[in-house]
Amino acid sequence: MQQYQNLEDIWSRLQQSAFRSKFRLNQEDLAYLRSKGMPVILSHARDFISGRLAPALPAKDGKQTPWRGHPVFVAQHATATCCRGCLEKWHGIAKGQPLTDVQQEYIVQMIALWLSRQEMPRVL
């Protein structure tokens, strides 16, 4: 079984990338995240991961994750969990094999970490 990188270690590496570190949620995505709550958003993440990344050869790999339209999409680009190429390069998850449940949950946890660190002002 593959040992995954510590989330904090990969977080540090991602923050050193000029490309990955520039991503932020816009006001609409922040409002959506606050209105739905993290459990619902992470449920969406699980659905996106299982449908778009989990197959051994995903359709349109490298282009399957939109750049905007949902907080999870932005988080996927920020965390290099947007396509199988980025998963291999940044997370050591090989292409060409279906993602296991453990791998899918690792990806969701990486997305959750990024989302939790976005500015989310409290609604008073």
- In the DSSP assignment, the letter for residue 40 is H
Length of the chain: 124
Domain boundaries, the chain: 7-116
User: What is the spatial distance between Cα 31 and Cα 33, in angstroms, rounded to a whole number?
Assistant: 5
Q: What is the mean pLDDT of residues 88-103?
A: 95
Q: Give the Cα separation of 116 and 95 in Å (integer).
A: 28
The CA-CA-CA angle for residues 13, 88, 91, to 5°, reads 35
Query: What are the pLDDT digits (tens) for 10-25?
Result: 888 998 999 999 999 9
User: What is the rounded radius of gyration, in angstroms, for the C-alpha atoms of the chain?
Assistant: 14
**pLDDT digit string, tens, across residues 36-75:** 999 999 999 999 999 999 999 998 888 888 888 899 999 9
Task: Select from 3, 6, 8 the least CA-distant residue to 116.
Answer: 8
Query: Rounded to whole angstroms, how far apart are CA atoms 93 and 124?
Result: 41
